[in-house]
Amino acid sequence: MKVVTAAERTSEVLAQIADLKKAKNAAFLVHNYQIAEVQDIGDFVGDSLGLAQVAAQTDADVIVLCGVRFMAETAKLLNPEKAILLPEQDANCPMAQMVRPGDVLALKEKHPGAVVVSYVNTTAATKAVTDVCCTSANAVKVVSSIPEDREIIFTPDQHLGAFVRKMTGRDLIIWPGCCPTHARVTAEMVLEVKGEHPGAEVVVHPECRMEVIELADAVRSTSGMLKYCAESAASDFLIGTEKGMLYPLKKRCPGKKFWPVAEEMVCPNMKLTNLESVRAALEDMQYEITVPPDIAEPARRAIDRMLEIGRESGN
């Protein structure tokens, strides 16, 4: 009996994915943290802002969103008529569960004149009670666009909120959510790896604690990190975000060296999707994202407003 090797099995799955993709006119939108094999089949690989921008423009009939649920929901809000598939049903972002629409409404009651800014890492229901969304790439720009005399409620990430407060000087009312993967990292951990690589630049995500941000040479979204490291004169980098990020960084900058600031920076939800689940997604059209119309309409407005602010400022 002929033994089938792992490489032969993978190329068979890849061929099946390619056939299904063509038959269904599908596009694969993939986040930077996904496993290498999934990134390699992406039509677009990027950060949350890039995924939303591309989702708003694609002419595919089906979008397979390889990432977590809020990214697929955002794609659905922007494409109500398309099928949006999340290959792994349990790929949720725990931060998105940390604030509920009722929490935002209670804050709005206390601060009736406030503008609500919510990170895209929220459920569609929370976006529906939000005035404008932001991502890690544009949070500073979005907050800066709000008139000085308006109060601002910022949900759900306290660390991104603290970073935006520092960058804009605005007095934000911040919800105390966080990303469990990024919040795990302490200044002590960063100082320890810095000691091992004294010449390396430290590049971190704004979901990190302020004590970590203060040690960084640059604070960027995941795609912002790719640009920063490609353009920097430095050759060695310590990366303060989910470890999957090292794959696109090494691909984009083959001559440079990258280390995670902490080995434990893994988002289990981002690691669920694999080639088999992408194949199953297309075969069985699963798991299709739906958003009730009464939530979809106001939630879409908050996303559209964010994309508009980007267009007004040229990105």
136 touching ligand 13P, by CB under 6 A: yes
Left if phi > 0, otherwise alpha if psi is -120 to 50, otherwise beta: which for 25?
left
Choose which of 39, 58, 181, 277 interacts with ligand SF4 (CB under 6 A). Answer: 181
121 touching ligand 13P, by CB under 6 A: yes
CA separation for the pair 151, 163 (Å, rounded):
17
221 binds, among ligand 13P, ligand SF4, none (CB under 5 to 8 A by kind): ligand 13P
Question: Taken in order 171, 177, 183, 188, is the CA torsion positive or negative?
Answer: positive
121 touching ligand SF4, by CB under 6 A: yes
135 touching ligand SF4, by CB under 6 A: no
3-state secondary structure of 50: helix
179 touching ligand 13P, by CB under 6 A: yes
Give min distance, CB of 48 to ligand SF4, in A: 9
Choose which of 39, 47, 240, 272 interacts with ligand 13P (CB under 6 A). Answer: 47
Residues in the chain: 315
Left if phi > 0, otherwise alpha if psi is -120 to 50, otherwise beta: which for 12?
alpha
The first and second tokens of residue 56, run together, are: 């708003």
273 touching ligand 13P, by CB under 6 A: no
The first and second tokens of residue 80, run together, are: 């109500």
158 touching ligand 13P, by CB under 6 A: no
Nearer to ligand 13P, 131 or 242 (CB): 242
Choose which of 68, 116, 132, 213 interacts with ligand SF4 (CB under 6 A). Answer: 68
Our CA dihedral for 294, 296, 297, 299, rounded to 10 degrees, sits at 120
145 touching ligand SF4, by CB under 6 A: no
Left if phi > 0, otherwise alpha if psi is -120 to 50, otherwise beta: which for 144?
alpha
Residues that bind ligand SF4 (CB under 6 A): 68, 93-95, 121, 179-182, 207, 242, 267, 269-270
Which residue ranges make up the site for ligand 13P (CB under 6 A)? 32, 47-48, 121, 135-136, 179, 205, 207, 221-222, 242
